[in-house]
Amino acid sequence: MRPAALDWSVENCTVSRAMEILGERWTMVVLREVFSGVRRFDDMRVRTGVPRQVLTNRLALLVERGVLRREPYREPGSRLRHEYRLTAMGMALWPVLVAVLGWGDRYLADAEGPPLSVEHRDCGAPVRVELRCADGHAVVDARDALPRPGPGARRLTA
Euclidean distance between CA atoms 8 and 129, whole angstroms: 29
- Domain ranges for the chain, please list them: 12-144
Q: Residue 4's pLDDT is what? A: 85
Contact between 156 and 8 under an 8 Å Cβ cutoff? The reply is: yes
**Closest C-alpha to 35, from 103, 106, 92:** 92
Write down the CATH number for the domain with range 12-144. Answer: 1.10.10.10
- Per residue of the chain (158 residues), give pLDDT as tens: 888 888 898 889 999 999 999 999 899 999 999 999 999 999 999 999 999 999 999 999 999 999 999 999 999 999 999 999 999 999 999 999 999 999 999 999 999 999 999 999 999 999 999 999 999 999 999 999 999 999 999 998 86
Contact between 69 and 84 under an 8 Å Cβ cutoff? The reply is: yes
Tell me which DSSP letter residue 157 carries.
P
The CA–CA distances, whole Å, from 152 to 22, 39, 120 equal 22, 36, 36
Q: In this structure, what are the phi and psi dihedrals at residue 19, rounded to the nearest 5 degrees?
A: -70, -20
Q: Residue 158's pLDDT is what? A: 66
Which 3 state secondary structure label does DSSP give 1? Answer: coil
